[in-house]
Amino acid sequence: MAIEFSAADWVAIGLTLRLASVVTLLLLVIGTPIAWWLARTQSWLKGPVAAVVALPLILPPTVLGFYLLLAMGPNGPIGQFTQWLGLGTLPFTFWGLVVASVFYSMPFVVQPIQNAIEALGNRPLEVAATLRAGSLDTFFHVVVPLAKPGFVSAAILGFAHTVGEFGVILMIGGNIPGETRVISVQIYDHVEALEYTQAHWLSGAMVLFSFVVLAALYIFQQQKNKP
C-alpha cells in the first residue's frame, strides 16, 4: 500500500517541520539565558518567573492563544511594536505562529536546561575561574558540554511539542494553506470533511513520530545515566 498523502498534506507536513525547527532554534537562544538565570539566582523573583514560564503546561491553549491574539493585534503591545517596525501585524501569519509557539513550548525547553545547570552545581564554574576562563568562555566550554544531555532533551521536547500544537495555532493562525495550516489543523480539516482515510494516515504518522522521538529521548537519557 502506497503512502497516500495528498499534496495539501505534504504542504502541511513541510510547514509543520519548518515551524518546529525555527521555534526550537529560537527557544534554545531565548530559553538558555532564562534557564541559566532560574538555575543560579537567589532572587525572590525566581518563583514568579518559573511560574510564568510553566503556565503553558496547565493553561488551556485557547486562553494562551486568546491573549496572544490580543497582544499581537493592531492595538496590542506586540502588534504596536511590529507595526512600528513596519512588519504589520502577526496574527494569521507564519511568524505569528512562531511567536505563539515560542511561548507555548517554552517550559519544555527551559526546564531540562535549568535542571541540567542546577545539577552541575558551582564547582565546575569555580574550577573554570581558577583556570582563567571568563564567563562566556566558561559557558561555552564547560557548561554547554557538561549540560549537553539537558540541551539535547530540551531541543527534542521543544521540537516535538511544537509539532503537536493545535489549540494555540487555531487561535492565532487560523487555517491558511502553506502559511498556518499545520498537520494538526490539516487532520482537523480531514475529519470535518469526513476524509477518514486521509486523517488516519496523518494521525498514524503523528503517533509514530511522537513515539520514535520519545523513545529516542528516553534511550538517550538512560545511556547518559549509566556510570
Which residues of this chain interact with another protein, rule CB under 8 A?
Answer: 123-124, 126-134, 137, 141-142, 145-146, 148, 227
- Report d(CA 135, CA 125) in Å as an integer: 9
> Smallest distance from the beta carbon of 140 to another protein, in angstroms?
12
Cα distance between the two ends of the chain: 45
Q: Which CB, 148 or 200, lies closer to another protein?
A: 148
Under 8 Å CB-to-CB from 28, ≥6 apart: which residues? Answer: 109, 151, 154, 155, 158
Q: Per the structure block, which three cell numbers stand in for 26?
A: 529560537
Burial class (CB in 10 A: 0-12, 13-18, 19+), 121: exposed
Backbone angles phi, psi at 167, to 5 degrees: -60, -50
d(CA 133, CA 205): 47
Largest CA distance in the chain: 66
* Residue 157 Cβ vs another protein, minimum distance, rounded to whole Å: 22
Min separation Cβ 109 and another protein, Å: 22
- The smaller minimum CB distance to another protein, of residues 146 and 206, is found at 146
Of residues 16 and 153, the one with the C-beta less far from another protein: 153
Residue 134 CB, nearest approach to another protein (Å): 5
Distance of closest approach, residue 141 Cβ to another protein, in angstroms = 7
Shorter beta-carbon distance to another protein: residue 72 or 128: 128
Of 122 and 197, nearer to another protein (C-beta) is: 122
The nearer residue to another protein, 127 or 219, going by C-beta atoms, is 127
Shortest distance in whole angstroms from residue 171 CB to another protein? 43
Query: What's the chain's Rg over C-alpha atoms?
Result: 20
Contact 13, 201 (CB under 8 A): no
Q: How far apart are CA 224 and CA 176, in angstroms?
A: 42
